[in-house]
Every structure is written in C-alpha cells, then in structure tokens.
C-alpha cells in the first residue's frame, strides 16, 4: 500500500478561506507542491498581494511579505536584490497584476529580475465583491459592468502573457488553466518549470493561470470550470509565449 497523493508540506495546516470550489485552493497547492518537490521551502520568500489571496501568507509554509496592492513585483525585486540566492515569488490576481500593478510587473520583467510570478486570472475582482477586472471578457456581467463589459467604453480585455512575452528581460512566460485534471497537471508542470528556471538563475518567469470565481460569476463550481475551458481559453490562448531557455 502506497500513498500516491497526500497534502504537501508546502502548505500550513490553516484551512483555506476561499469559497467552495475556488481554484485559488488548487493553485496554492500546486505552488506549494512544487516548492516542496524542488526542496526550496527553506529558502523561499513568498510575496503576498491584495485580493482574495491577501492571506496567502497564512497558507504557504515559508517566509512571506505582504505587499500593497499591485506592488508585489517591486517588493520582490527589493528582496531578490539583497538575497539573490533565495527563491522569491509573487502570487497575484488580475486586479493586482493587470490593473493597479501593470507598471510594477512590466518593470520587474524589464529588469530581468530572477523572480517567479504566479498570475491567477479569473476575469473578476473577487475579494471586493465581483467588480470588472481588466481581464473580464466582452459582454461579461460584473457588478461594475452590470450590462456586460462594453468594449467601446471599457476597452478590450488585456492579454498579459502576450504583453509580457515581448519584454526582453522576460525569460519564461506560459499561460495554463485549472479547468480539469489534465489541465491542472499541465499547470503544475509550468509552475515547476518556472521555479526551476529561477533556481538555475534563468531570469524572470511568469505563469498565467486561467482560473474561476464561481461566486462572482454566479455559476456552480463545476460550471465555472466549464467557463474557463470554453469561454476564457477562447480569448486567452494557452501555451508558452516565451522560453529563452528552449533549444533553438
């Protein structure tokens, strides 16, 4: 008899505060598993951001610094520059990274800081009650786009993985999703690769993860996964957008 799956040491015992079915729970676990499997827990500093995951410093079993909204990449730069041998990662949502934090995320990549960014894109502002996000889909109803996102007034959704891939300092940019067991396993491989790149001094890495907010979207947890797979992935294509280390 062998245990083939159990809770990772990369997570504390604190129960997650997320809604039932929230993919933050899956993604936290994937990050924690990667840190444990790569034996990085004893040299990692997590940078928590502001959003539903504001309390992520309670859940990751490592040192952590809580950053102001949008500023996590700058905080990560500060840590990494004084501790270049440590693993530093940010965990940010779409408001934190793609709205208030667009300056900081672009510039951290531009500098080529050897950090890893976990970007949880669920096309909505969950923590504050379901407002429109920069990644909200056209026509999607949120509390600040009650008639559906109007691209003529509110712009098109922003594709961060594509934007970031153009930056010379970015070493590895991939977009994945957590919509079913296959895609979750693939997401874990991407996250692991990103941490391996950091471990080997390979430069700035970001994994954008299409995820769900079933409460904000007004869907059941299972239907919310379908929305990721069918609607979100249609607008935000999955794949590797930049891989400096890939064989030519």
Please give the residue ranges that form the binding site for other proteins (CB under 8 A).
Answer: 1-8, 11-12, 15-16, 18-26, 29, 41-45, 47-48, 54-55, 57, 61-68, 71, 74-79, 81-83, 86-87, 103-104, 107, 111, 180-181, 184-185, 220-222, 225
Say how far apart CA 26 and CA 115 lie, in whole Å: 21
DSSP 179: S
- CA nearest to 31, candidates 46, 17, 13: 46
CB of 181 or CB of 239, closer to other proteins = 181
CB of 74 or CB of 210, closer to other proteins = 74
CB of 71 or CB of 193, closer to other proteins = 71
The distance of closest approach from Cβ of residue 6 to other proteins in the complex, given in angstroms and rounded to an integer, is 5
Token pair of 29 as six digits: 């676990």
CB of 81 or CB of 237, closer to other proteins = 81
Contact (Cβ atoms closer than 8 angstroms) between residue 120 and residue 209: yes
The distance of closest approach from Cβ of residue 64 to other proteins in the complex, given in angstroms and rounded to an integer, is 5
For residue 163, how many C-alpha atoms fall within 13 Å in the half-sphere facing its CB? 14
The distance of closest approach from Cβ of residue 95 to other proteins in the complex, given in angstroms and rounded to an integer, is 16
Say how far apart CA 88 and CA 117 lie, in whole Å: 9
The distance of closest approach from Cβ of residue 12 to other proteins in the complex, given in angstroms and rounded to an integer, is 8
Q: Which residues pair with 238 in a beta bridge?
A: none
Say how far apart CA 94 and CA 160 lie, in whole Å: 9
The distance of closest approach from Cβ of residue 248 to other proteins in the complex, given in angstroms and rounded to an integer, is 31
């Amino acid at each position: 008899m062998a245990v083939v799956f159990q809770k990772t040491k990369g997570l504390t015992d604190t129960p997650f505060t997320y809604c039932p079915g929230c993919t933050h729970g899956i993604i936290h676990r994937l990050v924690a598993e990667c840190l444990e499997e790569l034996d990085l827990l004893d040299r990692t500093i997590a940078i928590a951001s502001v959003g539903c995951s504001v309390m992520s410093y309670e859940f990751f079993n490592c040192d952590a610094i809580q950053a102001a909204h949008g500023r996590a990449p700058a905080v990560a730069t500060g840590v990494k520059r004084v501790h270049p041998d440590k693993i530093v990662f940010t965990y940010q949502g779409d408001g934190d990274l793609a709205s208030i934090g667009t300056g900081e995320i672009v510039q951290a990549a531009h500098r080529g800081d050897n950090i890893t960014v976990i970007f949880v894109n669920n096309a909505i502002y969950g923590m504050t009650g379901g407002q429109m996000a920069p990644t909200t889909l056209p026509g999607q109803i949120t509390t600040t786009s009650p008639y559906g996102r109007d691209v003529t007034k509110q712009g098109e959704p922003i594709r961060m993985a594509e934007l970031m891939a153009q930056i010379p300092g970015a070493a590895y940019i991939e977009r994945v999703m957590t919509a079913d067991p296959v895609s979750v396993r693939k997401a874990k491989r991407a996250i692991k690769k990103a941490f391996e790149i950091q471990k080997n001094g390979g430069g700035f890495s970001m994994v954008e993860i299409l995820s769900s907010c079933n409460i904000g979207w007004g869907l059941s947890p299972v239907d919310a996964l379908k929305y990721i797979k069918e609607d979100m992935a249609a607008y935000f294509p999955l794949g590797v957008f930049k891989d400096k280390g890939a064989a030519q």
